[in-house]
Structures are given as structure tokens and as C-alpha cells.
Amino acid sequence: MPAASTKPSRGRRNPAIWLIALVFCGPAQAEPELVRAKVIDFFQRAFPEHKLDDYTYGALMFRPEARKQFDDIMEFPPFLTTIERGKQMWERPFSNGKRLADCFDNGGRNAAAAFPRHDRQRNQVITFEMAVNDCLRQSQQPPLALDDMNTMGVLMSYARTLSDGARLDVRAQTPEARAKLEAGRADYYQRRGQMNLACANCHIDLAGRFMRDEIISPVVGQATHFPVFRRGGEQLLTLQAYFRRCFTQIRATPPALGSEKMNNLEYFHAYLSSGLPMRASVYRK
């Protein structure tokens, strides 16, 4: 785990000093590992019967009968042809003979599990979708619009399945990376929109409760299974496209997909799921 190596030396000093430092610095300076541990601890106390890996199921983890139905559908999901189209995009050679698959080690196997990540040179959070666009540009191909589910969405519905079973590994090891993570954290807890709600109000405080006819999923685990196919498999949504949906639902203006704000938010959001097993392209009601 990141930064674990810095901990032992601290143990030898007076713990009270660290506590005081933490209180005075406030959450803005809190170590990201500590923030994540607190969120996970909150959920494990609230739902002691659930193992952390269960959180990959999202809200389905709370409803065994719905989860059974999900498992049945996932044996032969109705959107296999879409994933197949994504595979063709991933493997089709450009005019220079290179393919998207060639931009990543092992043809992209487990590639998505290492995103989002902080790029030192650009001092920017890079999502997997952006890394794919970087690859296209390197071969003089036009990048795909991040909000176009018929291109980027379809591509992701295959490319991300190449990381199925891998554990999400999101790190923030430099002060610059931590600053982006912190910006994402602050945004996640920021109340907004006509409903004056923060993401955290629903996906932490109210996780497991019903909202209209839906159970609200815990934030932990959410980043592991995108894109999803909603509405019986008809509507494909990447993670940031889903963020946009939730912004709109609380009547807040969503930031553009791929904007710094959205990327930092995804960085923090995914960081909370780091260590969990991935499974892309899942069915949602």
C-alpha cells in the first residue's frame, strides 16, 4: 500500500503530537490512507456481514434475490454484441499498422486497473479513457469524445473487461498527486445543486437505504465495475457519464467529462475502491 513505509518512524514519536497535528491541520492535510480507512471502517461497522470484495456488486450486495438475478443475466448478458464491437475497435490496426491494444503492456491486460493515475510531467490526473486518447494521437488518429458512449463507451465496454479479476491499484505518492486527490475529496463532500446534497451524503451516509425504488450503493466498490449497462442493458454509461447523471439528478451543473474537476473527483472516488477486484460491463436495472 502506498506510504505504508512512512509509518513506522512515526510510531516511535509521541502519538499525542500527531493527533494534535491532525486536528489542527484538519481533513485537508489528512493522509489519504487515513481518509480511505475511515470510510471503509464506517461501512464495515454499518454492514459487518459484508466482506469488502462484495462491494463490487454495488447496491446489489444488499439484495440477495436481485444479486441472484444479476448473476443469471451476467452468464449471457444482452449486450455481448456491444462488447464485441469494442473488441474490434481495440484490435483494428490503424494505417500505420499499430493498434490500440499495442499501446499497453500485454495487449491491455490489467491496464485499466492502474488508472486513474497522476502524471508527474503534466501534473494532471489521467484516466484510462485519456490514456487511450493519447494512444490514438500518437498514431495520428482523432481522439474519441469522452462523452460519446457510441465510440468511447463501446470501446471501454471491452477494454476495461481486460482487467476483470485484477485488483484496482490507485496510488497517490507525491505531494502533487495528493493535492489532486484532496481536491477530489473536497468536491466529493461538497454540497451542491438545488437539492444541496453532496455525493457523500448519499453514497456514504445513506448507502444501503432506499431512495424511491432504488437502494443507494456505497461509494466503495463503485469504481470497479464500469462501464455499466443500465435500463435492461440498453444504456451504456462510463464512470464519468454516471457522475454526470448524479450531478443532474441533484440539479447541479455537471463539470465536463475529462475536465480537471471531473478527473480529480474520479481520482478520489477510485482511490476509495483501490484493492477491490474489478469487473467491467455489468448489468444494471
Instruction: Give dist(CA 109, CA 118) in Å, integer.
Output: 20
Q: Is 246 a catalytic residue?
A: yes
User: Which range of residues in 39-47, 81-89, 145-153, 215-223 is near ligand HEC by CB under 6 A?
Assistant: 215-223
What residues pair up with 117 in beta bridges, in sequence order? Answer: 126
Query: What secondary structure does DSSP assign to 49-100, as a single string?
Result: TS-GGGGGGGGGGG-HHHHHHHHHHHHS-TTHHHHHHHHHHHH---TTS--G
280 is an interface residue for ligand HEC by CB under 6 A: no
User: Which range of residues in 77-85, 149-157, 175-183, 243-251 is near ligand HEC by CB under 6 A?
Assistant: 243-251
234 is an interface residue for ligand HEC by CB under 6 A: no
Peptide bond into 227 cis (omega under 30): yes
Count Cβ atoms within 10 A of the Cβ of residue 108 and give its class: 0-12 exposed, 13-18 middle, 19 or more buried: buried
- Choosing from 201, 208, 261, 275, the residue that interacts with ligand HEC (CB under 6 A) is 201
257 is an interface residue for ligand HEC by CB under 6 A: no
58 is an interface residue for ligand HEC by CB under 6 A: yes
210, containing H or E segment? strand 210-211
- Choosing from 62, 247, 267, 268, the residue that interacts with ligand HEC (CB under 6 A) is 247
CA-wise closest residue to 281 among 243, 252, 238, 231: 238
CB of 244 to ligand HEC, least distance (A): 9
Catalytic residues: 246
Residues forming the site for ligand HEC (CB under 6 A)? 58-59, 197, 199, 201-203, 211, 214, 216-217, 222, 228, 242-243, 246-247, 250, 284
